[in-house]
Amino acid sequence: MRDVNLSEVLLRRLDRSEKEPLSRQIYTVLRMLILDGEIAAGVKMPATRTLATDLGLSRNTVMHAYEQLLAEGYVESAFGSGTFVSDTAPRIRGSGPPEHRPDDPAWHQAALSARGNQLVRLASVSDRQLGAFVAGVPDVSLFPHGIWNKLLSRHWRAPPPELLTYAHGAGYMPLRRVLAEHLRMSRAVRCEPEQVVLTTGIHQSIGLLARLLGDPGHTAWMENPGYWGARSMLQACGITTIPVDVDDEGLAPDARQLAQPPRFIFVTPSHQYPLGHIMSLTRRRGLLDYAREHGAWIVEDDYDSEFRFGGKPLASLQSMDQHDRVLYLGTFSKTLYPGIRLGYMVLPRALATPFGIGLSELYREGRLMDQAVLAEFIEKGHYATHLRRMRQVYARRQTLLRDAITAQFGADWPISTHEAGLHLVMHLPAGTDDLGIAIAARTLGLTVRPLSRYYEGSAGAPGLLLGYACVPDNLIGPSFQRLVQVITPALEHSRRAPVARRA
């Protein structure tokens, strides 16, 4: 490339209105020309004074670009002779062109592992995390940020150095202490502070237990339907998931499944996700006996246990465990706000120390300042006050949504249990395209989850997960009326489908 051509290329590509310095722009253009072979190895670069004159810039601007290229090895400077393009071409070349280009969608599929492809292909995470009717998201606008900010500011006025470095072990002991007390009082969890391990949430807790207690090829019973996030995390850790049907009493393994004991049994006994059933006492006792007999680990995700609106408080499954087979998991994502990214595990004593070491080794945890603030927030009673307030809010909003469904579809329309939670399930007749409803709802600015996508290994019953927690009272009715616009055509289509097939 001749000097005049190089000047012309730079003049075309430089943007003097950009915030990026012109010296950086020159460096970027020259670097790409060298990497693309437009300026061949050994070619002499134009003198900085000449190039500066052609571009109408100061010589220092060009010199800065050359110095960066020299520092990174793209050019070489020979004293008294000038600046030359370095020979940086690789000595070892492939036998042929790459199978896919990075801008080809097929390239991404080819680049991912089989496990990575499955994770991406079956992903259920939503890009919408607020609004009607997002499931599992609390009303973050009602979080007592004023109180939290005062506690946080007090800690930041003179922060101890140990709160600003990496966390080591199971987390901030004062938080583990008050959390153990809270769980003993509210969920009858049998634990001491030393048994509590702090994590960034349910997903990290599952990933940690899968890596420390499981090996590739181990199996896990998963409630079917059940939480897709737990299934994805276990599969990503090499654990094979086995879908086990759920009935009104909870997890209901058949004889074939009982004959093949798993390594893990993942359950949400106090409020089954997503159907809302409560595991019966008989089923709980049977599950504990089975785990003891076969050496299985029961992973109890105490989902939504803090938000019960009716009936007596339920004790955790862990409270009944006499043989240390239950790993109890919880999170502050629903009770405070999802962005806090704090969760916890309550483990048998023998596991707590190795889990703390594994947590530090794999994740290099921090968040000690947030843990310190949360400890004080709980200790001073603010957490309990916030929970009481939110129970009232969510109970009212659930009632409003139920009333809206009943007014439109009648009092006999099947809806999930009402005792607890941040969402309800509106069941749909067999053959209804709940996924199609969810897609159509997005065009109206509404977010619903299709129940059928929570099933693994078989066609799931259709339904809609409707989150009400983060929808203001006055918007629940109008929002549901908009949703009816896409539900009604889907119901009509499902009613006509059998007639069309017979014809």
Same domain, 394 and 374: no
pLDDT at res. 177: 97
Structural domain for 33, as ranges: 6-85
- Tens of pLDDT, residue by residue over 438-465, are 999 999 999 999 999 999 877 789 999 9
- Tens of pLDDT, residue by residue over 167-223, are 888 999 999 999 999 999 999 999 999 999 999 999 999 999 999 999 999 999 999
Q: How far apart are CA 42 and CA 1, in angstroms?
A: 12
pLDDT at res. 200: 93
pLDDT at res. 501: 47
Amino acid identity of 446? L
Last residue of a domain, one of 327, 348, 380: 380
Same domain, 372 and 247: yes
Is 293 part of a structural domain of the chain?
A: yes
CATH at 389: 3.90.1150.10
Is 164 part of a structural domain of the chain?
A: yes
Same domain, 306 and 440: no
b/e for 226-240, b at 16 or more Cβ within 10 A?
bbbbbbbbbbbbebe
pLDDT at res. 88: 80
Same domain, 419 and 480: yes
Same domain, 319 and 390: no
pLDDT at res. 451: 95
Same domain, 194 and 289: yes
Is 94 part of a structural domain of the chain?
A: no
Give the number of other Cβ atoms within 10 Å of residue 247's Cβ.
12
pLDDT at res. 62: 94
Map residue 449 onto helix, strand or coil: strand
CATH at 244: 3.40.640.10
Same domain, 431 and 370: no
Last residue of a domain, one of 380, 409, 441: 380
- On the CB side of 55, how many CA atoms lie within 13 Å of its CA? 30
pLDDT at res. 289: 97
pLDDT at res. 311: 65
Task: Give how many domains the chain has, as a whole number.
Answer: 3
Last residue of a domain, one of 85, 109, 131: 85
Same domain, 240 and 180: yes
pLDDT at res. 108: 61
Is 181 part of a structural domain of the chain?
A: yes
CATH at 22: 1.10.10.10
Is 186 part of a structural domain of the chain?
A: yes
CA angle 120, 122, 124 (to 5 degrees): 95
Q: Which residues of the chain have pLDDT under 70?
A: 1-4, 91-109, 121-129, 310-313, 498-503
Same domain, 425 and 354: no
pLDDT at res. 120: 72
Same domain, 391 and 258: no
pLDDT at res. 500: 43
Same domain, 147 and 51: no
Same domain, 167 and 267: yes
pLDDT at res. 502: 41
pLDDT at res. 164: 87
pTM for this one?
0.81
Contact 356, 170 (CB under 8 A): yes
